[in-house]
Structure 1
C-alpha cells in the first residue's frame, strides 16, 4: 500500500508540473526542466509492471536490469538525440540522459530490494 501511495504521489507531482507548464506558470528551472525526466521511467516501468503482473497473473514478475537499461537508452536516444533534430520543441540535454538512467535504476533497485524483503 505504501509503494502505491509513492507512485500515486509521483504521478501527481509529474501531472502538476505538466499542468503548470501548460498554463505558463513560472517554475524554478530545476523543477521545470528536470523533475519529470527523473520521474518518467519509474512511473512508466511501474505501470508496465502492474499491467504485466495482471495479464500474466504473476505477482512476482520483475523487469530484468537489461530491460531497464534498454528502456533508458531508448528514451535517451529518442528524446535527446532524434527529436531535437526534427522538432524545435525538443532540446538535447545530457542531464536528462543521466536522469532517465537514474530514475530507471532507482526503480529497478527499489523493486529488487522489495523482492528480497518478501523472500525473507
Structure 2
C-alpha cells in the first residue's frame, strides 16, 4: 500500500510540474529541469510492472536489474543524444542521464526487498 501512495504522489507531482511548465509559471530551476527526469523511470516501470502483473496474473512479477539498466540506457541515448540532434526542444544533459539511472535503480531496489537488505547490510559493514 505504501508503494501505491508513493507512486501516486510521484505521478501527481510530475503532472503538476508538467502543467506548471505548460502555463509558463516559474518553478525553481532544479525542479523545472530535473524532477521529472528523476520520476520518469520509476513511473514508467511502475506502470509497466502493474500492467504485466495483471495481464500475466502474477502478483510477484518483477523486472530484472538488467532490464532496468537497459531501459535507463535507452532513455539516456534517445532523449539525451538522439533527439537533441534533430529537435531544438531537446537538450543533451548528463545530469538527466544520471537521474534516469538513479530513478531506475531506486525503483528496482524498492521493489526487490532482498536487494535493499543486501545494500543495507553492505553499508553496515563499511
TM-score (norm 2): 0.90
Q: Gaps spanning 5+ residues in structure 2: where?
A: 118-126
Q: Which residue of structure 2 aligns with residue 66 of structure 1?
A: 66
Q: Any runs of at least 4 consecutive aligned residues in structure 1 with deviations exceeding 6 A, and if so which?
A: 114-117
Matched residue pairs, number? 117
CA distance in 2, matches of 1:22, 1:32: 11
Q: Gaps spanning 5+ residues in structure 1: where?
A: none
- Quote the offset at 1:113 in angstroms: 1.1
RMSD of aligned residue pairs (Cα, Å): 1.5
Q: Which residue of structure 1 aligns with residue 109 of structure 2?
A: 109
* 1:92-112 deviations in Å (ceiling 9; x for gaps): 000000000000000000100
* 1:12-33 deviations in Å (ceiling 9; x for gaps): 0000000000000001100000
* 1:75-94 deviations in Å (ceiling 9; x for gaps): 00000000000000000000
